[in-house]
Amino acid sequence: MLPGRSSGTAGRTRVCPHCKATILESAPVCPQCRHHLRFVAGGGSAPAPEGFCALRVEGTVEHTERGNNWEYSVVLTIRDERGAEVSRQVVGVGALRPAESRTFTLSVEMLTPEGRKR
């Protein structure tokens, strides 16, 4: 076990049966397709684990030139505490025509599924 990491199921993943995204095993709702994944006996959904948004960044890119289209790639890179790359993914690609804009939002949602407080 690494220092600062607890044992148990924290960080385990599964595949969403709806959209096939890799998600946390503890997630009651898929963060990609937003389908509910857990239900309790007697109806209703499972109680959501406690959580908070640790990071939220939003920005807009506006095409201000005339004539040429711009292409973009949204690349997400995750690094550990030593700076080593853990994951790198192209999240989306597209193009902007003159006078178009796109707004990009990145959020990091933290869950405390075992009832731990932050």
User: Which is more confident, 95 or 34?
Assistant: 95
Domain ranges for the chain: 9-48, 50-112
Q: Do the strands 101-112 and 13-15 form a parallel or antiparallel pair, or are they unpaired? A: unpaired
Which pLDDT score is estimated for 116?
A: 45
Which pLDDT score is estimated for 117?
A: 47
Quick one: pLDDT band at residue 104, thresholds 50, 70, 90? very high
Which pLDDT score is estimated for 12?
A: 85
Residue 27: CB atoms within 10 A of its CB come to 19
Half-sphere exposure of 63 (CA within 13 A, CB side): 16
Residues 6+ apart with CB under 8 A from 33: 16, 18, 19, 21
Answer whether residue 43 shows pLDDT above 70.
no
Answer whether residue 63 shows pLDDT above 90.
yes
